[in-house]
Structure 1
Amino acid sequence: MTTAELTCAGWSAAELLTLQERLAGLLADQCRRYAAGDSSLPRETAAELLCSLRYVLGLEGRERPTDPRSLLREPLEEAFRREQAALEKRTAQARRLWQAACTARPRIENRSLTDTLAGIGAFWRRYDRRFFAHEVPGDIDYQLCLPAPERLLGADYLIAWLSRLLAESRFLNCFDRRAVVRVLEGSCPDYRGLHINLFEPVAVNALGRTLLGLDPLDLALPSEGRARLAGRLRALPAQAGERELRAAGRTLSGGLALDRGTAWYVETAAARLWPRVRAALPHNDLEGIFLSL
């Protein structure tokens, strides 16, 4: 949390000063450890060390932030050591998720996905949890359907990103590879080389077939089916469209027996499709959303 956010949360000037002084002392210790005898550090390096401290202590970039006032109730060095131990566990969790993502990856060629997973693997070899815990790989190029929150840092960002990638992979693995490839070729002929998301076009067609009461595993959606979809969705009140798509996502997830995390991902992606659908309906054209195969 920033000073402004802490002030809005009711912190007094004395509390803010105490926390700032404690952080300054801990930063000085970290700078000495990192410099290992050198008399000075570049300003940019000191700023990165401070960002790492704030992340480890839970002041920013965490999925579950620390109560900042808890940092006033004990020596900051003790809190830092405890949070470093907790970070070690989250880092191990992120590595397990990366291994699972590599294993669960669909048998679909895509350069950005290949490069991104390889880049995360290389990142583990240079990740410095002691001094630069907030860092994330700079070469995560694969585009998720639902991006990980940009406010997250370090292992927390990787846990969120890899969990979402795993959800996409588990969904895609429910379908025959040939059917998936047909959808991808219809959506983007160069799906192997371009930075596209593999999950979304497949999920959208599966959702469309679910709305029509058809088996989603086929993925084919004839043009007359798209016209029926347009008629059904156009008849909905504006405020009901998102609920209808989310409910269809829930039905689709149940039919595929998806785990809870993957089901949440599919349902959320389905609901977020509504603005695109709503914008296309007045033109009587869902061709750019649901693919006819």
Structure 2
Amino acid sequence: MENIEKRHIINSHNLSDEFYFNNILQEAYTSGLLNESDLENIQLQCISLLSYKSERYNKAESSSIRVETAESIMKSNIYSIGLYLKSLPDPDYAVKELKTVRISDLYEKGRKLVNTRFQVTKRIYNMVQKNKLDTLNHSYNSTLSENGIGIFFKSYNLEYEAHDSPASIDYQLCNPVNDLAGVEFIQKYLENLYLENEFCMNFAAENIHYLLYGYDKGYTELLINIFEQLLTTALGCSLANRNIRELNITGEDIQRLFEKLLRYDNHTLMLNIHKATKDIFEELNITNLSLQKYIEKSLSKITTNIENALKLNTLSKVFITSINPNLEPKIHFESSVKMDDEEYRRLIEELLRCRFSSDKLELIKERVKSFDDLEDILLDAQLEEEEFISLFNTLGDVEIAAMIKRHPFESDIQAVDLSDTEQVVRLYLENYIKQLPTNRQELILQIAKHLIGD
């Protein structure tokens, strides 16, 4: 008889961690562990619990409540009950609890677990703050700030919104957290981030900076995962017999790796990657089993990237060559002294009175001797696009590059912070560059990359 009972045990793989309570009711009914009367009884108890919680929400002052609020409270109740049911030995045991224990009692047990998880998650957050990386990446820093994931610990409402995760999280993990909600999601996210940080802390901050700069000079504004970039490069260093800690793999190394790995079938490639992983564990003295498992879990994604790169001959997009920005050639640019405020004001008034573009251009050429004054005029003189273009045509490549440096148009990330006038200058400058011959475009953009000055 015991074996017959076991045939009706619910398969835990069919249950969603995010919607555990609803799933277990469905699976229990399908498997015959609950009948319609049981379901009706559970539903009535859930409604009774909602009524009680709604009254508490209103502090007994009114029996009415907004539909959206009632739905949120019901989701919160179900989330808390589901958290308790997940803590039981198996789903079949959880169904027995549903049949024999009052829903209000299951909720109270779940609510205590939610509070415990919240306290544990707060400790993990403090741990992550202690092993936080020294990086310029904006999404990483903003996510770990008080206005990022820190919001959760100020705003989480375990009484009425336990299913919610109030936080600003932009930073993408190598292994994203799926099928979780509420405090469970935040806890798992922080646990994964802590492990990623632990791995990254094996490398000097400057080496991480050089690697990410080699990946993209604008990496500070990108939504990239630092751990994935470091692990991929560490694997490449191991495969190329380079020093893993230095994260420095050359273009020649990458070419040799391409020729070597191209001869491998999928099985041989995986064997070599796993061998390289063991080398990383040994070289970096990684003995933490949780970190080892997390790294191994990340290998599938990285291996797929390598396989695709081998097919497309783009391995240099996977294994990145570090670049020290301090060693790149620099072009110094300085503006001459600006005109005094009164003189500048009179010039702007004259330009605004001018009817013809040719007169405006002649006036600017005659009176403006400073690059800073020229930039101000672009912002203040209300020029048309044709007038912008005529003015840009009088400038040299370095001056146009300096204008791009001050009004970059390659990324829209910070454009929301620009004034309407700055947006116009940015747009006209971009349009101007696009109509130039390709070789001159490339030259000006290269100059802009190496330009330094005030």
TM-score when normalising by structure 1:
0.90
Give the match for residue 43 of structure 1: 67
Q: Does 1:84 align with 2:107?
A: no
| Contact in 1 for aligned 2:155/2:166 (Cα 8 Å) | no
Give the match for residue 48 of structure 2: 25
Give the match for residue 392 of structure 2: none
Q: Distance in 2 between matches of 1:136 and 1:63?
A: 20
Shift of 1:9: 4.5
| Contact in 2 for aligned 1:57/1:66 (Cα 8 Å) | no
Give the match for residue 162 of structure 2: 133
Of the three residues 256, 265, 268, the one matched with 1:237 is 265
Q: Evaluate the alpha carbon distance shift between residue 5 and residue 211 of structure 1 in structure 2; reply closer, same or farther with a 3 A threshold.
A: farther
Q: Evaluate the alpha carbon distance shift between residue 265 and residue 174 of structure 1 in structure 2; reply closer, same or farther with a 3 A threshold.
A: same
Q: Distance in 2 between matches of 1:66 and 1:146?
A: 26
Aligned AA (1:183): L
RMSD: 2.4
SS in 2 for 1:273: helix
Give the match for residue 183 of structure 1: 211
Shift of 1:240: 4.8
Q: Does 1:163 align with 2:187?
A: no
Give the match for residue 249 of structure 1: 277
Shift of 1:6: 4.2
Give the match for residue 74 of structure 1: 101
Q: Distance in 2 between matches of 1:246 and 1:64?
A: 36
User: Structure 1, residues 121-161: CA drift from partner, whole Å, max 9, x if none?
Assistant: 23212211111111113411111111112x21111111110
Q: Give 5+ residue unaligned stretches, structure 2.
A: 1-19, 323-454
Give the match for residue 233 of structure 2: 205
Shift of 1:256: 1.6
| Contact in 1 for aligned 2:128/2:190 (Cα 8 Å) | yes
Q: Give 5+ residue unaligned stretches, structure 1.
A: none
User: Structure 1, residues 205-229: CA drift from partner, whole Å, max 9, x if none?
Assistant: 1111122333311111112221232
Q: Distance in 2 between matches of 1:32 and 1:156?
A: 27
Shift of 1:100: 0.9
Q: Evaluate the alpha carbon distance shift between residue 6 and residue 48 of structure 1 in structure 2; reply closer, same or farther with a 3 A threshold.
A: farther
User: Structure 1, residues 139-188: CA drift from partner, whole Å, max 9, x if none?
Assistant: 11111111112x21111111110011111111111011111111010112
Q: Evaluate the alpha carbon distance shift between residue 268 and residue 231 of structure 1 in structure 2; reply closer, same or farther with a 3 A threshold.
A: farther
With 155-164 and 25-34 compared, the bigger mean Cα shift is at 25-34
Q: Distance in 2 between matches of 1:43 and 1:271?
A: 45
| Contact in 2 for aligned 1:171/1:262 (Cα 8 Å) | yes
Of the three residues 54, 79, 88, the one matched with 2:78 is 54
Aligned AA (1:262): L
User: Structure 1, residues 221-266: CA drift from partner, whole Å, max 9, x if none?
Assistant: 1122212322343333224544543443343134322222222222
Give the match for residue 97 of structure 1: 124
Q: Evaluate the alpha carbon distance shift between residue 61 and residue 270 of structure 1 in structure 2; reply closer, same or farther with a 3 A threshold.
A: farther
Aligned AA (1:95): K
| Contact in 2 for aligned 1:112/1:193 (Cα 8 Å) | yes
SS in 1 for 2:220: coil
Q: Evaluate the alpha carbon distance shift between residue 238 and residue 104 of structure 1 in structure 2; reply closer, same or farther with a 3 A threshold.
A: same
Q: Evaluate the alpha carbon distance shift between residue 6 and residue 233 of structure 1 in structure 2; reply closer, same or farther with a 3 A threshold.
A: farther
Aligned AA (1:173): M
| Contact in 1 for aligned 2:234/2:244 (Cα 8 Å) | yes
Alignment of 1:255-266 (within 5 A): 255-258=283-286, 259-266=288-295
Give the match for residue 283 of structure 1: 312
| Contact in 2 for aligned 1:26/1:77 (Cα 8 Å) | yes
Shift of 1:65: 9.6
TM-score when normalising by structure 2:
0.60
With 18-27 and 43-52 compared, the bigger mean Cα shift is at 18-27
Shift of 1:271: 2.5
Aligned AA (2:219): Y
